[in-house]
Structure 1
Amino acid sequence: MRWTRVLIPFITVALMAPALASASPTPPEQLARQTVQKVLNDLDGRRAELRNNPQELHALINRDLVPLIDLPYMSQLVLGRYWRQASPEQRKRFQTAFKNMLIRTYGSALLGFNDNVKIEYKPVRAADNAKNVTFNAVIHSPNGQDTPVSLQLHEVDDQWKVYDGSVGNLSFVTNYRGQFNSAIRREGLEKFIEQLENRYDGNS
Structure 2
Amino acid sequence: MRWTRVFIPFIAVALMAPALASAAPTPPQQLAKQTVQKVLNDLQGHRAELRKNPQKLHALINRDLVPLIDLPYMSRLVLGRYWRQASPAQRQRFQQAFKNMLIRTYGSALLGFNNNVKIEYRPVRAAKDAKNVTFNAVIHSPNGQDTPVSLQLHEVDGQWKVYDGSIGNLSFVTNYRGQFNSAIRREGLENFIEQLEKRYGGNA
- TM-score of the superposed pair, with normalisation by structure 2: 0.94
Aligned equivalents of 2:41, 2:16: Cα separation in 1 = 14
Q: CA deviation at 1:40?
A: 1.4
CA distance in structure 2 between the aligned counterparts of 1:202 and 1:14, rounded to whole angstroms: 24
Shift of 1:153: 0.2
Q: Aligned in 2, Cα 1:61/1:24: closer, same or farther, shift over 3 Å?
A: farther
Higher mean C-alpha deviation, range 83-92 or range 25-34: 25-34
Tell me if structure 1 keeps the 8 A contact 2:6–2:109.
no
Amino acid at match of 2:76: Q
- Once structures 1 and 2 are overlaid, which stretch shifts more, 165-174 or 21-30? 21-30
Task: Specify whether residues 110 and 202 from structure 1 end up closer, same or farther in structure 2 by C-alpha distance, changes over 3 A only.
Answer: farther
4+ long deviations beyond 3 Å = 1-4, 20-24
What's 2:101 paired with?
101
Helix, strand or coil at the partner of 2:45: helix
- 1:100-130 C-alpha deviation (Å, 9 max, x unpaired): 0011112111011111111111000000000
Name the SS of the counterpart of 1:136 in structure 2: strand
- CA distance in 2 between counterparts of 1:32 and 1:126 reads 17
- For structure 1, the 5+ residue unaligned runs are none
Determine whether 1:48 maps to 2:18. no
Give matches, 1:45-84, under 5 Å. 45-84=45-84
What is residue 179 of structure 2 aligned with on the other side? 179
Structure 2 residue 155 is the aligned partner of structure 1 residue 155: yes
Q: Distance in 1 between matches of 2:174 and 2:108?
A: 22
- Specify the SS of the correspondent of 2:138: strand
1:164 deviates by: 0.2
Q: Give 1:23 shift.
A: 4.6
Are 1:139 and 1:148, in contact at CA under 8 Å, matched by a contact in 2? Answer: yes
Give the number of aligned pairs. 204
| Residues 180, 3 of structure 1: alpha-carbon distance in 2 compared, 3 angstrom cutoff | farther
Task: Give the TM-score normalised by structure 1.
Answer: 0.94
CA distance 1:146–1:69, change in 2 (3 Å): same
- The alpha-carbon deviation at position 203 of structure 1 amounts to 7.3
Which residue of 2 is the match for residue 122 of structure 1?
122
Q: 1:200 and 2:165 equivalent?
A: no
Contact 1:20–1:68 (CA under 8 A) maintained in structure 2: no
Does the C-alpha gap of structure 1 residues 4 and 194 become closer, same or farther in structure 2, counting only changes over 3 Å? farther
The Cα of 1:44 is off from its aligned counterpart by: 2.1
Cα deviation for residue 86 of structure 1 reads: 0.5
Code of the aligned partner of 2:44 = D
Cα distance change, pair 58–96 in 1 and its aligned pair in 2 (3 A): same
Q: Given that residues 6 and 167 in structure 1 are in contact (C-alpha distance below 8 angstroms), is that contact kept between their aligned partners in structure 2?
A: no
- Note the residue ranges of structure 2 that are not aligned, 5 or more in a row: none
Judged with a 3 Å threshold, the aligned counterparts in structure 2 of structure 1 residues 7 and 113 are, in CA distance, closer, same or farther, namely: same
Matches within 5 A, 1:10-49: 10-23=10-23, 25-49=25-49
8 Å CA contact 1:6–1:172 kept in 2: the answer is no
Q: CA RMSD in A?
A: 1.9
| Distance (whole Å) between structure 1 residues aligned to residue 41 and residue 2 of structure 2 | 27
